[in-house]
Structure 1
Amino acid sequence: MTEWGGATSPAGGNGGRRRLAAARGEPRAARQPLERPAPLRQAVYDVIAEMIINRELQPGEHLVENELAAQLGVSRQPVREALQRLQSEGWVDLRPALGAFVHVPTEEEADQLLATRTLLESESARLAAKQGTPEQVERLRELQRVGEKALSDDDQVALVDANAALHAYVVAMSGNKVLAELIAMVDRRVRWYYAPIARSRGRQAWDEHAALIDVIASRNSRRAGEIMRRHTERTRESYHQRRKEAAEREAPG
């Protein structure tokens, strides 16, 4: 008997027979055909996810398949498939006999993710200051200008997108692919949490970005990590403060 993943299986089981067949040069057994690409299903998923992130679809909102299908100009099938995927990724809650609802993030969920973001992005800023080129710093300044324009236009969607783009470029400057992959895993949800506070963070956040860019340009890696840590922690604090104020407004009496 051999151990595999915590379970025992006979050495001469299916896996063993396949290895013996391969060793003898026998043809491999046929596998299940691969599914063909489904660009419409992916497109519907992306659109609904963005609607959730940008708060066009609010937390707790009922998602009606036929209404979404009509809005997007598609049949109900890709909408149903997109909602199932969104449910598996934590964006949507499917309730028996009631349907689909936009997930309402708990305070614990948000705190854990934003804390993880602080750790990852502090390291990315530290590495960006070590690895970044003058051309990359200039690109950061261009992204800063885009964000400041969105701020002056009071455009929440553009603010969220500009904030994400600037942070993503700092990650790219770090040159650490593993770090970039880890941050990409949390990026969409960070944008979701950031959307309600984009305006309230406003000028302070973009002043912090400007200071970060200057420090990266000076190649002070320790200071860059510290500034990014404080910057992301302030975003975390602002998110919790907004939730507290919303709860107080909704409290009876």
Structure 2
Amino acid sequence: MRTPDKSEMSQGEVAYATLLEAIRGGVFQPGDRLREEDVATRLTLSRTPVREALRKLESDGIVEHRPRLGAVVRALNHTEVVELYEMRLVLERTAAEMAAKHAIAAEIDELEELNEAIANAVADPARAASINQQFHRCIYLATRNRFLLESARALNNALMLLGPTTLADEARITVVCRQHQDIIDAIRNGDAEAAGASAEAHLQTSLRHRLSVMRG
């Protein structure tokens, strides 16, 4: 299904899409207060569609209403983060296994290029995080399974609520790229079992690092 262009959207839909992009891009972080006037000014929108967008984001579970504060970007607690990663682990292990069976050479080459780009973005954590998302999406696309891809998309809202990227230093990026390479090698070799095991190890490491960041 084609994604509508913003010129085809209502003002409320444009405000929703713009605010969603801002949250996904880290302009607004979990825990940030979203005052209508401030959001409208920052995103160059009028207040009425912003109000409509905030209501929709609240129904999506991305924004919550707090007494005396109003709309706030929702933040996941420890239990929710663990549950989210448990679900990601199931999906990404399955995706890696299926990609090992179905990925074509061009897709595997793209994974190599994306992983190299992550390594080269060590000075720009936001860019590294964006490329990392592309890397994982590429694996899902290589599965040739639309239902698995849709299940991954359903996690997108929750993933936005994890907060700042953990790809904030060279040591962390080195670990991530090495684990990505293990996944790529297994996919290139058509070894579904190794691909799944590598994907699981990667997610387990990511969860441990995420929880460590949360503990401060």
Instruction: Work out whether the TM-score is over 0.5.
Output: yes
Name whichever of 80-89 and 164-173 sits farther off.
80-89
Instruction: Give deviations 1:91-144, integer Å, cap 9, x for gaps.
Output: 111135532112121111111111100000100000101111112111211222
Consecutive unaligned residues in structure 1, runs of 5 or more: 1-36, 247-253
Where does residue 82 of structure 2 map in the other structure?
111
Q: Which has the higher contact order (CA 8 A, sep 6+)?
A: 2
Counterpart selection for 2:165 from 196, 202, 205? 196
Return structure 1 stretches of 4+ with deviation > 3 angstroms.
37-40
Name whichever of 164-173 and 41-50 sits farther off.
41-50
Counterpart selection for 1:212 from 183, 192, 199? 183
Matches within 5 A, 1:36-47: 38-47=9-18
Counterpart selection for 2:137 from 168, 187, 190? 168
Where does residue 187 of structure 1 map in the other structure?
156
Larger radius of gyration: 1
Consecutive unaligned residues in structure 2, runs of 5 or more: 1-7
Letter in 2 for 1:199: A
Counterpart selection for 1:159 from 113, 128, 132? 128
Where does residue 36 of structure 2 map in the other structure?
65
Where does residue 3 of structure 2 map in the other structure?
none
Say if 1:53 and 1:195, in contact at 8 Å, map to a contact too.
no
Say if 1:156 and 1:198, in contact at 8 Å, map to a contact too.
yes
Q: TM-score, normalised to structure 1's length?
A: 0.76
Matches within 5 A, 1:24-173: 38-96=9-67, 98-151=69-122, 154-173=123-142
How much has 1:68 moved relative to structure 2? Answer: 1.1
- Aligned CA distance change for structure 1 residues 193 and 90 (closer, same or farther; 3 Å): same
Say if 1:212 and 1:228, in contact at 8 Å, map to a contact too.
yes
Name whichever of 180-189 and 110-119 sits farther off.
180-189
Instruction: Give deviations 1:133-173, integer Å, cap 9, x for gaps.
Output: 1121112112222222222xx21211111111000010110
Name whichever of 38-47 and 111-120 sits farther off.
38-47
